[in-house]
Structure 1
Amino acid sequence: MTPFTYLFLFLMFGSSQGRVVTVPFSPLVRVAGQTVSIRCDVIKYEGPQEQDFEWEVLKGGQTLRLISTFEKNTFTNTVYKDRIRSGAIQLVRLDDNVVELRIANASVADDAIYRCTTLSTDSSISGNYFADVELKVIGDNLKVSPVAAPAVVLEGSELQLRCNASRDLSDRTYLSVTWSIQRGTSPSEDIVTFGPDSVLKPGPTFAQRYANGGMRIDVREGGAFILTLTESLPSDQGTYTCRAQQWVLEGKNSWQSIMGRSVELGEVKVTAIRKNLKVSVEKPTLVSMGDDMRLNCSISADNLPSLGLELDWLVSFTASASPSTLVQMSRDGIVQNASRSVGLTRVKPGLFGLLVHDVDQSSSGFYSCKVRAWIRQSSGLWYPAAEKVSDPVEVQVSLPAPEFKVNLSSAVIPQNTGDPMELDCHVTDVSHLGEGRLAVTWQRGGGTPGDLPASSQLIGGLDHHGDLSAGDAYQQLVKDGQLVLSKVKPDTFKLRFLQMSAAGMGLYSCTVSAWTHSRDGSWQKAGEVRSSGITISWASRKPDLAVKAMVLRNPSSPGGTFEMSCQATVQNLQGEEFSILIQKTPVAGGNTQKIISLSENSILKLEGWSQPDRLDDVILQKVGQGNFQFRMSGAQPSDGGAYFCDVAAWTRESRGGWSRTISAESNRVSLAFSGPGPTANVSIRLDSRSLYTGDSATMVCGLTAQDGPANNNQYEVQLYRTSTSDPDHSDLLISKRQGLPNKSQRCEMKGCEMYQINPWTYRFSVHNLQHSDSGEYHCKVTSWLQNSPLTSTKGYEVVSEKVLLSVKFSVWKSVQVPSALRLWHLPGCWSPLCPHWVHLRPLPPARWHPFSKQTDGHRDGLRPGVLIYDETSVLCF
């Protein structure tokens, strides 16, 4: 007898509510040539969840059968068969109780009343079983034509976008027009939509602009729709499109779009104010102390009269310094920060004048004007369109300058790298200095003294107050005391390097400046003189680095310690530090592995050593200048190979950082054990390979180690199952290393057990077997070497062969026939889950019906797959 897969018992309760069939509101107006979709829903019905539908056409006093979900081959009238066969008319099921009638390429001939009918599955007739909807197909008369948009507009000017759209007014349809913009490759964005209810709806990013009066729409005779952007913005640049849509009003004030067409109005480029705004300052002549200085700022732009201009005069005392604001004028003509000596006037449109009375040396500097251009919007608000700053012009105020000479001499000249150097800067023949002061700066450059102004590098200096400053490249040397700048006499300045590097060779010079008091009591530079240059150089020798590696300790067996030393020796280099990287070349060849490194700043880093349980097994330390030791604890056979040191010498730069000078690799030393590593085998045995659900399975795993168990060895035993449905994946059922076994969720629920019979034999029991427990089982054994009471190192792994466990299904244990239930005849029950049926009626008491006497194809007969047991139950399989 064939085993039964499922047992279902069916009971029917409850009462019916009235059935409701609905279709869209009439009339349903659509455009010829389009696809028409008519939806039909049914709710509040009894019987199967999935309902059947029939569509009919009522036209000219006739009722023509169109299409059905129940009688698919014989229902359709001959008038529509060709269109249904070609797919031009389809009935699509959207849900159990929803279908949609689709008519492709509809024509005026399809005008009719369409009736949707549902077949009754209710116990009593209640509600409506059909609903009618009138379809009206009108001609395609929507016309859209573009008017080319201007190719270029100026920022702030008006932009008009015109689109012509019309349709046949006799069809009682409505029109909407939408303007859109696409900027580059970005998605198209709607600007504004007018209609279909004569309401203007701006796009999300244009709502505030519309509220501020920045756009308007004019509708003129003949279907002309004009969108005007009152002030063009740089963001208005892009390609514009006009889209017209034809609408009908359906149901309770519900708008439905039935047709739409788009046309491109063209690409518009917006010339930004910042692109044509030009600002310049005229170059003045040399100004003498006590005279008036006049500077003019000239401004030009395409639409200058419509712009609001703000202007700032800026001044800085050096070309590289940040400028400060001297005087300002707002776009309303209000002058700020003016004084008796400084004034600002508007000479004419686009020309602003600066006047400084009675200049002194403090008026010398670099002058520029900054202009901000504003555009006034329709709302009355201003927005900033552009900002530009003119190129600075230098103003020099002439005054009697002190006169003096500057001589540079060498006190100490270096002969080798690392030697000290001293230079003296002398000031002689001083005149017109009075109560002024002297300041000095030191430079280093190349070539001849004539090259110094263009290519010199600032070392540092002492200002007229005696305060020291250092160039960016020399600040760290000053902090470390390697560079000293001092004034040893009123007329003598000294530059001293404690140790010279090869990078310090070059042409040295000093510049002395004279400082005097201005009218307001501040200090100002009155003049400066640069000395001739002195070339500092010496014959440098190339540094040499040698590295030697040596084994200090080699382990005799796995678990031991490996130690090696690396000694670096360098010549022709001073003040060096070393970095070291330990690397290994595997015994079997392949890529070199980086293990651990120590930087020149003594920062330790694990490089390629990433074994989670052995992070503390390697250490690298510095035991002397250029002397390093590397140690590996718990060495394993996999650690064997050729080890070597990669050492680099570093010297400190003038900026305070380190510079890599030279590097070298050591000789190779080997890590190799005196004896072979441990080997082992593991096997698995299954007591019975064919069991039934609910039984227990027992498996035995045996380990044989060639060298026998060591006193400091531990073993981790694991049992895996590979499902026959997923042979590439294995699930861990249970494992044990120390203490109690770790069980998977399957083992916790069903009850797996692990027993250690002796140090090399383990027994596994899997209880309450299910069919899903079928598959291949195998053992894996991992050895662990005990390094200390708290740490251990992973050793070898061995995996057994797989054994197949087959769990058979016990039919009669799984099938229990309930009683005291009413029997129902299910003529539609032929799938394993008996999903649905059309009619239900009770059967009289009956015995088992033999399978051979079942009937098929008869509406009231049993189909294959249904066995009637008695008046209390029915069985489907």
Structure 2
Amino acid sequence: MASSTTTTLICLQWVLQYVVCRDVTLPSGPLYRVAGFPLSLPCVVSGFEGSRTQDFEWFLHREDAEGRQIGVISTRDQSFPYAPFLPRVRSGEVRLERDAGDRVRLVVQRLRLEDQGRYECYTPSTDSTFQGNYSASVVVKVIPDTLQISHSRSLIGQPLAEGSELQLSCSAAVQSQQHTHLSVTFGVQGAGPAVGGASPREVISIGRELAVAPGVGGDYRRRYGDGELTLEKQPGQAGDRDLYLMKMAAVAPGDAGAYHCEASQWILDPEGVWKRIAQRTLDLGNLTVQPLADSLTVAVVPRGEVWLSAGSPLSLLCEVGGVGAWSRSALLVQWLQQGGAGPGGAEVEVARLSPDGAVTWGGGPSRGRAEPWRSVYAGKPRPQPSTPPTITKRSEGLTVRLKTKEVSVSAVAEVARGPPLKRGSTVSLLCNVSVTTVGPSQVEVLWLKEREAPKGAGLWAEEGAERQEEGGASRPLAQLSYDGLSRSYGNSSEVSVDRLATGCYRLRIHQAQPEDQGQYACLAEVWALDPHGAWYNTGARAESASVRIYLYSRATDLLLIPLVVGVSSALLVGVFIVATVTCCFMNRLARQRSQK
């Protein structure tokens, strides 16, 4: 048994000696890097004994030094660097960055041509036995810097209107005997709400494999997919640099910021990984975007007020300013009319010019207040129906008034003759209207009921609301329009209006109640026929003097009063008699008991 255990231990020790052994690795070479740009060499040690944190020493074997090694830097000895590297180590240009206890990275911030050679990474032994390899090396080739970048068009600081097209370009080229690729990126700093403190953001790039890719921030992907953001490579002539042209179809306020162009040189390392070996950035200037909300102006011409004779043509212009590039922005124009002759002054659409140039006509009253409504699709010459406009703005209104004919009108209100008015009966009021004019005319009558107004009232409200004058407040009851349509504005009792004869209009209150008592008046307006056969309000009006409606009590109401009084009196007398008899009986009974 003991012999078997001993044999097992010997075998295990033999396996550990050959399995666990030190191994130092570096990237495969040769590695080509560009003078003036960084070099980063990772060194990893494995299979070691002792402390988890290992020390590393770096040497350079220059090609022109007959194989002699030069100490570069060490993790354990500050005096390790040789004279060529000592000042660079002290300044931090050459340094070691530890990624883990068994991993360090040699960083040369700015390579020099004399840095070319074979770099060796050595790890001092911490093992009980000397097994494995304790160093590794890689050849680094330092090639000249031939990356060039320039611009032929840059921002000059003048603001661009929202929706305008932005074009930026830069030229880039590299001349290298090695097979390298070039990528170009356009970026911006300060884009979005956090202007100034934001980190640089990639807008669009063309990669080393010539694939165009939009930036991941903002809405660049959507705009690239919609064709609003593009990047083109235009090959240069023999010996000239290639031109890279970025186009942004329509700038938005969030596109403001400092733009730059970045060119990078890439090489495929022996391990099959692409490495960026050179990079240059060129400032293209600051972009300021003027929002349409600040620059857009919409005005109707002529301004203010226009007087026209009935039947005359009306020509109005819509002037728009501050839109930016017209060819890149679709426009939707609407002509709206409000304050028409109809009750309530509703707003209606008169005409519409869509972005594709189609004209649609609406129906509106023939006079009122007109104003254009302008919607702008900034940078979208052909927006889809579902595309929301960038901004919508409306102009100040233009009031169109008609010069009326010589028209005079008068109105007189009276109570229709008949028996005295009582509660529950039908009340009839007449409005006699007299019109003097030339040509056909019609009358529109509005019945009003006055009621006591608060002190200081003296205003005129729109139809459908209360109208107040010095004599009190009035509210509309019913209306008979010029074309024979009737309208009730609501009342505690049912009302109706009709025309009895030419110039005579009637208001009836059915099943009148005490709350229907009060002062009533009628308002007459004259409508005339224009040369094109359309009716229009001449503006001539007259209001009658008010008449008072009083309701008398019915006969049944008069009989009810004595009946109630009689019953009440009888009840009082009966109660008095019963109380008197009861009191006398109780007194007599009390005397009889006392005598016994």
Aligned residue for 2:259? 240
Asked if the contact 2:337/2:349 (under 8 Å) is kept, the reply is yes
Per-residue CA deviations over 1:540-589 (Å, capped at 9, x if unaligned) read xxxxxxxxxxxxxxxxxxxxxxxxxxxxxxxxxxxxxxxxxxxxxxxxxx
**Could you tell me which amino acid in structure 2 is paired with residue 165 of structure 1?**
A
TM-score (norm 1): 0.42
CA contact (8 A) 1:247 1:255 kept: yes
| Residues 858-873 of structure 1 mapped to structure 2, 5 A cutoff | none
**1:637-676 pair list within 5 angstroms:** none
Deviation at 1:285, TM superposition (A): 2.1
Partner of 1:310: 332
SS in 1 for 2:477: coil
Is 1:325 aligned to residue 349 of structure 2?
yes
Which amino acid in structure 2 is aligned with residue 185 of structure 1? G
Q: Does 1:185 align with 2:196?
A: yes
Counterparts in 2 of 1:463 and 1:234: CA distance versus 1, 3 Å? same
Distance in 2 between the 1:73 and 1:295 partners?
90
In 2, Cα distance between equivalents of 1:168 and 1:199? 21
1:390 matches 2:390: no
1:116 alignment partner AA? C
Q: Displacement, 1:245? A: 2.6
Tell me, yes or no, if the aligned pair for 1:53 and 1:69 is still in contact at 8 Å: yes
Paired letter, 2:235: R
Aligned to 1:199: 211
2:286 matches 1:267: yes
Quick check: 1:24 aligned with 2:27?
Answer: yes
**Once the two structures are superposed, what CA deviation does each residue of 1:687-731 show, in whole Å capped at 9, x if it has no partner?**
xxxxxxxxxxxxxxxxxxxxxxxxxxxxxxxxxxxxxxxxxxxxx
Could you say if the C-alpha distance between residues 202 and 82 of structure 1 is closer, same or farther in structure 2, counting changes exceeding 3 Å? closer
**% identity of equivalent residues:** 25
Question: How far 1:103 moved relative to its partner?
Answer: 3.5
1:169 partner SS: coil
Aligned to 1:208: 222
Query: Does 2:283 align with 1:278?
Result: no
SS in 2 for 1:463: strand
Correspondence 1:49 to 2:52: yes
- Give the equivalent residue in structure 2 for 1:296: 316
Report the Cα offset of residue 113 of structure 1. Answer: 0.7
**Whole-angstrom CA distance in 2 between matches of 1:322 and 1:128:** 93
Asked if the contact 2:163–2:329 (Cα under 8 Å) also holds between the matched residues in 1, the reply is no
Q: Which residue of 2 aligns with 1:116?
A: 121
Give the corresponding residue for 2:172.
165
Q: CA RMSD in A?
A: 4.9
Higher deviation after alignment, 310-319 or 200-209: 310-319
Asked if the contact 2:23–2:45 (Cα under 8 Å) also holds between the matched residues in 1, the reply is yes
Distance 1:303 1:77 in 2: 65
Question: Residue 61 of structure 1: which of 53, 64, 67 is its match?
Answer: 67
**Are 1:144 and 1:244, in contact at CA under 8 Å, matched by a contact in 2?**
yes
* Equivalent of 2:518 in 466, 486, 489: 489
Q: Superposition pairs for residues 784-823 of structure 1, below 5 Å? A: none
Q: Is the 8 A contact 1:312 1:329 kept in 2?
A: yes
- Residue type of the alignment partner of 2:57: E
8 Å contact kept, 2:467–2:473: no
Structure 2 distance, partners of 1:125, 1:401, is 126
CA–CA distance in structure 1, aligned partners of residues 368 and 382 of structure 2: 43
- Contact kept, 8 Å, 1:309 with 1:331, in 2: the verdict is yes
Give 1:218 shift: 2.8
Deviation at 1:97, TM superposition (A): 0.9
- Whole-angstrom CA distance in 2 between matches of 1:34 and 1:165: 18
2:40 aligns to what SS in structure 1?
strand
- Asked whether the equivalents of residues 165 and 251 of structure 2 are also in contact (C-alpha less than 8 Å), the reply is no
State yes or no: 1:145 paired with 2:134: no
Structure 2: distance between partners of 1:445 and 1:224: 85
| CA shift digits 1:830-867 (9 cap, x unpaired) | xxxxxxxxxxxxxxxxxxxxxxxxxxxxxxxxxxxxxx
Does the Cα contact within 8 Å between 1:162 and 1:224 map onto a contact in 2? no
- Distance between the aligned counterparts of 2:73 and 2:330, measured in 1? 73
Cα pair distance change 1:285/1:79, threshold 3 Å: closer
Deviations 1:293-341 (A, max 9, x none): 6353434457657654433332223799662334434344545465xxx
The answer (yes or no) to whether the contact 1:180–1:189 under 8 Å persists in 2 is yes
- TM-fit CA distance, 1:169: 2.5
Contact 1:158 1:228 in 2 (8 A): no
Tell me how far apart the structure 2 counterparts of residues 445 and 489 of structure 1 sit (CA, whole Å).
Answer: 19
Cα offset, 1:272, TM superposition:
6.3
Question: Does the Cα contact within 8 Å between 2:146 and 2:176 map onto a contact in 1?
Answer: no
Q: How far apart are the structure 1 equivalents of 2:241 and 2:45?
A: 44
2:61, 2:118 within 8 Å by CA — same for their partners in 1?
yes
**Do the aligned residues in 2 keep the contact of 1:38 with 1:100 (CA within 8 Å)?**
yes
In structure 2, the CA distance between the partners of 1:298 and 1:438, relative to structure 1 (3 Å rule), is: same
SS in 2 for 1:285: strand
> How do residues 335-484 of structure 1 correspond to structure 2 at under 5 angstroms?
335-336=359-360, 338=362, 363-374=366-377, 377=380, 384-396=389-401, 398=404, 402-403=409-410, 431-432=433-434, 436-438=446-448, 461-465=474-478, 467=490
Secondary structure in structure 1 of the residue aligned to 2:314: strand
Residues 52-111 of structure 1, C-alpha deviation per residue, up to 9 Å, x if partnerless? 3232222332234444445x2676556655655665544443321112223454321121
Contact 1:404 1:428 (C-alpha < 8 Å) held by counterparts: no
Q: Mind listing any 5+ residue stretches in structure 2 that lack a counterpart?
A: 1-11, 414-428, 435-442, 479-488, 493-514, 546-596
For residues 54-133 of structure 1, the aligned pairs below 5 Å read: 54-59=57-62, 60-69=66-75, 72=77, 80=85, 84=89, 89-122=94-127, 127-133=132-138
Q: Which amino acid aligns with 1:130?
A: S
Distance 1:375 1:90, change over 3 A: closer
Q: Contact (CA 8 Å) 1:141, 1:167: kept in 2 or not?
A: yes
| 1:188-238 deviation per Cα after TM superposition (whole angstroms, max 9, x unaligned) | 422112233322221123222223333231333222423242623334444
| 2: CA distance, partners of 1:386 / 1:308 | 11
Equivalent of 1:226, from 238, 241, 244?
Answer: 244
Q: Is the 8 A contact 1:439 1:514 kept in 2?
A: no
Measured in 1, the distance between the counterparts of 2:371 and 2:71 equals 89
Question: Matched residues in 2 for 1:213 and 1:156: separation?
Answer: 15
Unaligned ranges ≥5, structure 1? 1-11, 343-355, 357-361, 407-426, 470-485, 493-511, 532-877
Q: Secondary structure at the match of 2:29?
A: coil
Q: Rate the CA distance shift 1:21–1:285 in 2: closer, same or farther, 3 A.
A: same
- 1:74 and 1:156 mapped to 2: Cα distance? 63
Q: After TM superposition, give the deviation of residue 162 of structure 1 in Å.
A: 1.8
Partner amino acid for 1:249?
L
Q: Deviations over 1:773-803 (max 9, x none)?
A: xxxxxxxxxxxxxxxxxxxxxxxxxxxxxxx
Q: Is residue 233–residue 270 contact of structure 1 (8 Å, CA) maintained in 2?
A: yes
Change (3 A) 1:198 1:378: farther
Counterparts of 1:434 and 1:261, CA distance in 2: 82
The answer to whether the 8 Å contact 1:281/1:368 transfers is no
In the other structure, the counterpart of 1:258 is: 277
User: 1:79–1:189: structure 2 CA closer, same or farther, 3 Å change rule?
Assistant: closer
Q: 8 Å contact 1:445–1:452 — kept in the other structure?
A: no
Shift of 1:173: 4.1
Q: Secondary structure at the match of 1:210?
A: helix
Instruction: Give the deviation of 1:140 after TM superposition.
Output: 4.2
Q: What's the offset of the Cα at 1:528?
A: 6.8
1:607-655 deviation line (CA, Å, top 9, x unaligned): xxxxxxxxxxxxxxxxxxxxxxxxxxxxxxxxxxxxxxxxxxxxxxxxx
- Change in Cα spacing, 1:85 to 1:445, as seen in structure 2 (3 Å) is same
Q: Distance in 2 between matches of 1:513 and 1:186?
A: 68
Instruction: Give the corresponding residue for 1:821.
Output: none
Q: Contact 1:437–1:515 at 8 Å: present in 2 too? A: no
Deviation at 1:292?
A: 6.5
